[in-house]
Amino acid sequence: MIEYRARVGLALSAAVLAGTMTGVVAAAPARAAGCVDVHVVAARGTNEPGGLWSQYKLGTVVGNPVYAAIDDRLSQSTNAYRVQYPAGYEQPASVQAGNRDLVDHVVARAAACPDQQFVLVGYSQGANVVDNSIGISSAGARVGGPIVATLPAELAPRIAAILLFGNPIRGVGREVTGVYADRTYDVCNDNDPVCDPRGKDWNVHMQYKRYADEAAAFVAARVRPA
């Protein structure tokens, strides 16, 4: 038995050496730390607090409650990323900074995590960030601007869902069209001055948490099983 094991070990060693010399054997790509089944990328609204005690500080009005609902609803593993941008009134610089960061982040994570799916979440100005990143210009809308970066077309199948709340482009008669249209959940409260062309009540612009469970169900119907 000892002699047999020795022969097998020698044979395997020779095979590995031969394969290495001929380029047949190659190391599998490393899976980056933090890879999950579903990665949520959220862009908060203008001057929206991130949430002091929340894990990812995605935004108190939309990002945090929506991510919590998604994580609770899905059986797949999840984590989240807060888009790094000013979320301020200096336009188009602010929304364009978010546009660049979102695209750069998703491209990098897609390369590091080949099996990972993405959910993009945007509230108010953050919805403009998402709009621009998928190729829908927010120029002319509140806290918007021209596109500076767009997600590569080859990543489109990995964007499982897009969730938009108080989306400013709706106030100028635009919406998400094209390849992402059937994967987009886009809600605007009546009389919201950011997304409703006739809106006048700023209080309703803060009332989007109530859609968190509905948005999570939308996501659950579109992500691949683990």
The residues annotated as belonging to the active site are: 124, 192, 205
Residue 44 to residue 123: CA distance in whole angstroms: 6
The dihedrals phi and psi of 160, each to the nearest 5 degrees, come to -70, -40
User: If you search the block for the tokens 């489109």, which residue do you land on?
Assistant: 156
Cα diameter, the chain: 86
Q: Which positions ≥6 away from 170 have C-beta within 8 Å?
A: 186, 188, 195, 196, 197
Q: Assess contact for 66 and 212: CB atoms under 8 A.
A: yes
Q: Assess contact for 92 and 85: CB atoms under 8 A.
A: no
- Strands 159-165, 78-82: pairing is unpaired
The dihedrals phi and psi of 87, each to the nearest 5 degrees, come to 50, 45
Task: Pick left, alpha or beta for residue 114 (phi over 0 → left; psi -120 to 50 → alpha; otherwise beta).
Answer: alpha
Give the amino acid at 65: P
Which residue from 160, 72, 70 is spatially nearest to 118, judged by alpha carbons? 160
